[in-house]
Amino acid sequence: MTGNLFSVREFCLSKLSKLCPSSLRLLVAFVVLTAVNSANAIVIDIFEFSSYINADELHGDSLLDRQLNNGALSAANEFEGAGFGVIFDSIFDANGFGTATWTISNNSGMDLNNVQYFGFLDAEIDSYLNTYFNEYGDVGDLVLGAGSEDVLADSWEIDEPGFVFGDIFDNLSVGGLDNSNGVSVDAPDDVSLALGFDLGSLLDGESFGVSFEISEINNGGLGHFDMDSADGFYFNGFVVEPAISVMEPGSLALLFMGIVGICGSRRFGNRS
């Protein structure tokens, strides 16, 4: 890598770059694309990985717990201030594939009803090669659950993460994802992904865990792909009991493979 390219990469990863006007973004894209002419391994950068929680008794906007942020955004934990215990575990490899698990304990002193929990991921694919706004999402083979009696997500959203046009933060805030794709293959841009889980009641003293996977293979989740490098990943999550929230990676892989078996297999890179 050249020094100039490294500088462009750092520029692209900064929060400021997400606020650039479209003309400047196109210029950045041109500079990066003309500076690079060789294939490279996929690099997934996590700009933000957060959780939100909502319930009838919380009376207001969803609470935010931001854990992974690429150093660009400050950590935020509104859960603990509302009386929730938070344990966060994550394992990612050099490419950015891996798992992250939130375990949440209700220590608020209140029994909560209509609890909704959301995972939000704003990742960038190969941004050091070709920017973060040449990407698109695909609902793929996502299988939704229904209510609190299963481990699957009950709602989803793919959208630009609110710097330009996306409404995904508004929807997270009110606790209702729109089950739509705002960044399809026909209109690539900056992609972010969210999965929502209806948990029903969460009594005072009870806990739950939700584990997320960023996978190279189709794990039955939302797809996020790069138009130019053809790299991509799948993002899925499911509710786990606290007792297995820090399960061995091998066990976690087997669980995801079970979901894959249900959903069928489909390799990424076959965009039409």
Q: Return the number of the residue (65 or 135) whose C-beta is nearest Ca ion.
A: 135
Shortest Cβ distance from residue 249 to Ca ion (Å)? 25
Neighbouring C-beta atoms of residue 183, cutoff 10 Å: 25
Among 161, 116, 143, residue whose Cα is nearest residue 237? 143
State the Cα–Cα distance between residues 87 and 144, nearest whole angstrom: 26
Q: Return the number of the residue (175 or 209) whose C-beta is nearest Ca ion.
A: 175
Shortest Cβ distance from residue 222 to Ca ion (Å)? 12
Number of H helices and number of E strands within the chain?
Answer: 6, 12
Report the Cα 185 to chain-centroid distance in Å: 18
Shortest Cβ distance from residue 257 to Ca ion (Å)? 27
Shortest Cβ distance from residue 190 to Ca ion (Å)? 5
- Coil, helix or strand at residue 84: strand
Shortest Cβ distance from residue 157 to Ca ion (Å)? 5
Q: Return the number of the residue (190 or 198) whose C-beta is nearest Ca ion.
A: 190
Shortest Cβ distance from residue 261 to Ca ion (Å)? 29
In single-letter form, the type of residue at position 19 comes to: L
CA atoms within 13 A on the CB side of 139: 12
Enter the DSSP assignment of 181.
B
Alpha helices in the chain (DSSP H): 3-13, 22-35, 78-81, 127-130, 168-174, 249-263
What is the token pair recorded at 257?
């493979």
Q: Return the number of the residue (180 or 251) whose C-beta is nearest Ca ion.
A: 180
Point out the residue whose Cβ comes nearest to Ca ion: 159
Shortest Cβ distance from residue 147 to Ca ion (Å)? 23
Residues composing the chain = 272
Q: Do residues 249 and 99 make contact, with C-beta atoms less than 8 angstroms apart? A: yes
Q: Return the number of the residue (134 or 219) whose C-beta is nearest Ca ion.
A: 134
Residues that bind Ca ion (CB under 5 A): 122, 124-126, 130, 134, 159, 167, 178, 182, 190-191, 226
Q: Do residues 103 and 142 make contact, with C-beta atoms less than 8 angstroms apart? A: no
Q: Return the number of the residue (209 or 223) whose C-beta is nearest Ca ion.
A: 223
Q: Return the number of the residue (198 or 226) whose C-beta is nearest Ca ion.
A: 226
